[in-house]
Amino acid sequence: MTLPTFFEPLLAEQYGASDVQRIIAGCNVRRAATLRANTLKATREDIAVQLDAAGIRWKPVSWYADAFVIEGAREDAIRALPAYEDGGLYLQSLSSMIPALVLGARAGEDVCDMCAAPGGKTSQIAALSGGKALVMACEMHAPRAEKLEHNLRKLGAANSNVMRTDARRLDDFFSFDRILLDAPCSGSGTLRTSDANLHKRFTPTLVEKSRKAQRALLGKALALLKPGGTLVYSTCSVLTCENEDIVRECLSRTPRGASYEIEPIELPGADDMPMLPVTLEGCLALCPTDLYEGFFVAKVARQK
């Protein structure tokens, strides 16, 4: 199946021809299964032992010690492992592991995951803080909130509480040291030409609907961030209109008296990531490949 006709012209508006072709090529490959050790319940070594015992080949990830790339096996083989059943590992794309790493939550901090279901990033935030950050995980849709609660229990994220609400409606009396906004988006970085529903699912209407939600959510996130706090905005999109443009727009109309700046993203060992050019210095964008989904991450610090 071909990609929707409106997609390539959008890409051509923001990327050179070689990057457009890289992105299109990434839509035509099957991505490897990837996972992370959930250190709330298991160590990296525990997971490596189970993979080896099951005859599942894997390789490490240079920028994240708890991540594994699976070679020659699919997700069903991972789901058969005891560590999957007891929450010792979590199947997660490499790209979606990045936002929680960039967020850098610490023990004792108040953290909000604004669009939390199904819970991968929430549980990763908990694990990276040693289970000692206080995480409020928001999800507005009841079935997704139930799945989120189930996953957080399974993964042992005891200090994470689910709030069944639209994060856009959070009261301004809330304030957080760190906020993760993995915003709803068009999913343009995850497109696969093998998807039979691709043309129905990925449309200009979806892009515009996503932009509206992104603006409202990021505006709310900026208002709820404490002075000295850190906000991470991410999407699984490769479109500037959902990424840099949203960040610029929201930073241009921040609450009176507040001051924010983009902080450069630094991930030691990430030199082999398939980077795309960005139009907002300090942000990170990834090209879809056989290992990575197309992704965007921005880190914002509030000074006052």
Active-site positions read: 236
Q: Encode the chain in three state secondary structure.
A: CCCCCCHHHHHHHHCCHHHHHHHHHHCCCCCCCEEEECCCCCCHHHHHHHHHHCCCEEEEECCEEEEEEEECCCHHHHHCCHHHHCCCEEECCHHHHHHHHHHCCCCCCEEEECCCCCCHHHHHHHHHCCCCCEEEEECCCHHHHHHHHHHHHHCCCCCEEEECCCHHHCCCCCCEEEEEEECCCCCCCCCCCCCCCHHHHCCHHHHHHHHHHHHHHHHHHHHHEEEEEEEEEEECCCCHHHCHHHHHHHHCCCCCCCCEEECCCCCCCHHHCCECCCCCCCCEEECCCCCCCCEEEEEEEECC
* Nearest Cα to Cα of residue 3 among 19, 25, 18: 25
CA-to-CA distance for 246 and 254, rounded, in angstroms? 13
Phi-psi region for residue 37, left (φ > 0), alpha (ψ -120 to 50) or beta?
beta
* Nearest Cα to Cα of residue 38 among 97, 105, 95: 97
